Amino acid sequence: MKNKTAAGHLAALFTILIWGTTFISTKVLLADFAPAEILFYRFVIGYLALLAADRRPIRGAGKRQELTFIGAGLCGICLYYLMENIALTYTMASNVSVIVATAPFFTAFLFWLFMRSEEKLGAGFLLGFLAAMAGIGLVSFNGAQMKLNPLGDVLALGAAVVWGCYSILSKKMGGFGYPLIASTRHTFFYGILFMIPALFLFGFTPDPARFADPLNLFNMVYLGVGASAACFVSWNYAMKSLGAVRASVYIYLVPVITVVFSALILGEPVTLLSLIGMGLTLLGLLLSQRRG
């Protein structure tokens, strides 16, 4: 049991480490690709990578199980990323970073609302949430003035709620007994289907020449194979091992990792406020992981 829990923590840390660096790759790709195009290509690449890793189909799924896969693809693959990216076009990135980081709270609330017997919450979780949000605020705003934009901020909040819905559906998928890679690939399939109509709304230009640039190709493959295929498998494993609520609090670390790697790769400055924010975020993570 202890080995399984330790493996779950390592899987969550691996996932968040990769997800925290996706901002850098996305920033590079935005020079040549629209946000919806990046999402579509990365998940198609991710689907193909998962198909190469495990070709076994999902057989014998009943209607309820299939609806769970469909809902997970809609929430975790399509809606979450689209809402987050659209929010970035209407409001400040720092606003989105802080609001989306409330996803663990909504995950915990939805589990309490719909699956009360599954996971128990304590004072440590709430204290951890408050500490982490204070830290994320310092990291994200870093002295800058917060500017509210109702549409963008509501979309970011919607993304956090949608991720909580995905967490519940993923928990249910873990109980179906299907191979982890195969079930993740099945979810990707439905997410890509839901994403196709959005391509026509947000501008899709099929131009393979853009992939001739090695930098574009590397970053798209990194997002597809690493941040999508590998990370969704490891994240689903973490949720199965730790529980969706305990795993979700690792999301607090995403802004911290983004700041660290932005400093290392892009040369962006790290201030005293950022360091204090990182400390508070780590404290929030530790408090949220405590039992009782």
Per-residue burial over 176-211, b if 16 or more Cβ lie within 10 Å, else e, is: eebebbbbbbbbbbbbbebbeebbeebeeeeeeebe
pLDDT at 261: 79
How does pLDDT run across 105-118, given as a tens digit for each residue?
Answer: 888 888 888 876 55
pTM of the entire predicted model: 0.85
Average pLDDT score over the chain: 85
Q: In the 8-state DSSP scheme, what is residue 251?
A: G
How does pLDDT run across 204-253, given as a tens digit for each residue?
Answer: 778 888 999 999 999 999 999 999 999 999 999 999 898 888 888 898 88
Tally the residues of the chain: 292
- How many C-beta neighbours within 10 Å does residue 137 have? 20
Q: Residue holding tokens 């590079």?
A: 28
